[in-house]
Amino acid sequence: MPIKNSAAIEKEQKGFHTRFLSEEAKQQLTNDFKQAKKRLIFLDYDGTLTPYAKHPLMAKPGEKLLLLLKCLSDNLNNDVIIISGRGKATLQEWLGLPDIALAAEHGAWIKEKHCGWKLSGSFASDWKPKIRLILQQYTDRLPGSFIEEKDFSIVWHYRTANEKLCLTTKTDLLHTIAADAKAMDIEILQGNTVIEVRAAGANKGIAGIYWIEKKQPDFILAVGDDITDEDLFFVLPETAYSIKVGTSPSFARYHLSENQQPAVIELLEELAKS
């Protein structure tokens, strides 16, 4: 486990002080965006740029969203990075616009503009067969659940499963996997109707630091809705505009309510016009 510096410890001790993104705060964000010359825009995908779908493959971006992202990325002052838990093949197919950077599997894979994919670190995958077997056992127990496998993570989805059965089944599953987590060097995440098991160290904070150090921006916007986005929010400087879609505790500077995902698009449209 990495040793935290004093600034990180102080930030963690302060806890969560997220406030609602008011019109006044939104106006200040827009003004700072207009004045900046080197902007980083980190955007989560599912639940942020698009609503959650019953199945991951049903969340493909529409033409309107793609045009918006292209408009943002066409501005030479902007570096747009889609940073998602999705696999790199899906991100490439759906969002592989020439001037957009991508980070797949929560930052395990990164792709700069006009470049190929590369790993952001060294991540183990030898734990996957055992975890896959466990997840399959629970998938068999819970009709409607299914497994999604990536290079360095495996996700158990239960969005379409019986709600009453979900509670007991996922509690048992978490208990079973937790017994092996430390020895296998993996992390267990509870997302929006998913349980994800991933290689330790593969997170959005790593990807965020990579681009911040490389670009040295004078403006940062980061928007996300899931627990995985907290890794990114945590490493951002205090001057960054970080926005959590949802009202659960967060390291983000601002939040929107759960039903305000369309407000993210409205904000990006306004920035695209700037």
pLDDT in tens, 105-116: 999 999 999 999
Mean predicted lDDT score pLDDT of the chain: 90
Strand partners, 191: none
- The percentage of the chain sitting over the pLDDT mark of 70, rounded to a whole number, equals 94
User: Helix (H, G, I), strand (E, B), or coil: what is residue 226?
Assistant: coil
Catalytic-residue membership of 44: yes
Strand partners, 171: none
| Spatial strand order in the sheet of 186-190 | 146-149, 153-157, 194-199, 186-190
104, 96 contact by CB (below 8 A)? no
- Alpha carbon distance 21, 253 (integer Å): 9
Tell me the pLDDT band of 2, cut-offs 50, 70 and 90. very low
The alpha-helical segments, DSSP class H, found in 15-49 are 23-35
Quick check: 244 pLDDT over 50?
yes
Quick check: 157 pLDDT over 90?
yes
Report in angstroms the alpha-carbon separations of 132 from 44, 147, 153. 26, 8, 10
Span 201-207, average pLDDT: 93
Start-to-end CA distance of the chain, whole Å, equals 42
pLDDT on residue 206: 93
- Alpha carbon distance 202, 105 (integer Å): 8
CB atoms within 10 A of CB 73: 20
Span 138-166, average pLDDT: 93
79-107 pLDDT, tens digit per residue, is 999 999 999 999 999 999 989 999 999 99
CB atoms within 10 A of CB 10: 10
Tell me the pLDDT band of 16, cut-offs 50, 70 and 90. low
Tell me the pLDDT band of 7, cut-offs 50, 70 and 90. very low
User: Helix (H, G, I), strand (E, B), or coil: what is residue 217?
Assistant: coil
Catalytic residue among 44, 46, 79, 225: 44
- Alpha carbon distance 191, 258 (integer Å): 14
Quick check: 3 pLDDT over 50?
no
Tokens of 131: 């975890």
CATH (residue range 6-122+202-272): 3.40.50.1000
* Domain boundary assignment for the chain: 6-122+202-272, 128-199
pLDDT on residue 211: 96
Tell me the pLDDT band of 17, cut-offs 50, 70 and 90. low
Degrees to nearest 5, angle at CA 44 with 37 and 232: 75
pLDDT on residue 185: 86
Q: Which of 74, 82, 176 is nearest to 134 (CA)?
A: 176
Q: Which of 82, 86, 88, 148 is nearest to 118 (CA)?
A: 88
24-79 pLDDT, tens digit per residue, is 999 999 999 999 999 999 999 999 999 988 888 889 999 999 999 999 999 999 99
Phi, psi of 45 (to 5 degrees): -105, -75
Span 134-141, average pLDDT: 95
Tell me the pLDDT band of 269, cut-offs 50, 70 and 90. very high
Let me know if domain 128-199 sits in CATH 3.30.70.1020.
yes
CB atoms within 10 A of CB 192: 14
Report in angstroms the alpha-carbon separations of 270 from 27, 86, 229. 10, 27, 23
